[in-house]
Amino acid sequence: MAQNKIDIEQVKQVAKLARLDLTEAEISQFTTQLGAILEYVEKLNQLDTSKVEPLAHCLPINNCLRADEVKESLGTDKTVTNAPQTDGRFFLVPRILEESGGF
């Protein structure tokens, strides 16, 4: 078998970024499976794409815009009704310890 396209450390890293808690057995299983997928996709590298523009979207259309007009929102009650945890006004999530909002 050719060298795997992805190693165990990379799978652990991706799992961590995706907040997935995997068992050792799963990590091993996914490493093999993801490796096979990447190997298959690598077939594309057999094509010479040096003269092909990167595709931003598969549909040949652009500028799907809408007017800046207000549509009715859900309102608080409907919004939180299916939340796993709520106090009726907010979504409740496990206490955030670190202030590290993304951007």
Partner 1 sequence: MTDSDYKIIVGLEIHVQLATRTKMFCGCELAFAEDPNSRVCPTCLGLPGALPVMNAQAVEFAILTATALNCKIAEFTKWDRKSYYYPDLPKNYQISQYDLPIGSNGFIEIPLSDGQTKKIRILRVHLEEDAGKNVHTSGNFSQVDLNRAGTPLLEIVTEPDMNSAEEVRALAIELQRIVRFLGVSQADMQKGHMRFEPNVNLHIERGGSTSKTPITEVKNLNSFKALEKSVAFEAVRQFDEFLDTGICLQSGNKKTFGWDDVKEVTVLQREKEEAHDYRYFPDPDLVPVVVNEEWLERIKTKLCELPLKMQSRFISEYGLSDYDAGVLTTDKEMAKYFDDTVKTGADAKRVCNLITQTGIKIANEKGCGVAQLGIEPTRLAALAKITDDGKISATAAVTVFEKMLESKDSPDKIAQQLDLLQRSDEGELEKIVDEVITANAQAVEDVKSGGKKSKKAHGFLMGQVMQKSKGKANPQIVAKILGSKLGS
Please report, as ranges, the residues that interact with partner 1 according to CB under 8 A: 13, 16-19, 56-59, 61-76, 79-80, 85, 87, 89-96, 98-103
User: Residue 30 corresponds to which tokens in the numbers above?
Assistant: 């996914």
Minimum gap (Å) between residue 44 Cβ and partner 1: 16
Cβ distance 4 to 35 under 8 Å? yes
Nearer to partner 1, 2 or 56 (CB): 56
Q: How far is the CB of 17 from partner 1 (least distance, A)?
A: 6
Match 């409740």 to its residue by tokens. Answer: 92
Rounded Cα gap, residues 37 and 46, in angstroms: 16
From the CB of 99, what's the least distance to partner 1, in Å?
7
C-beta of 1 vs 102, nearer to partner 1: 102
Q: What is the token pair recorded at 59?
A: 């549909």
What is residue 82's DSSP assignment?
T
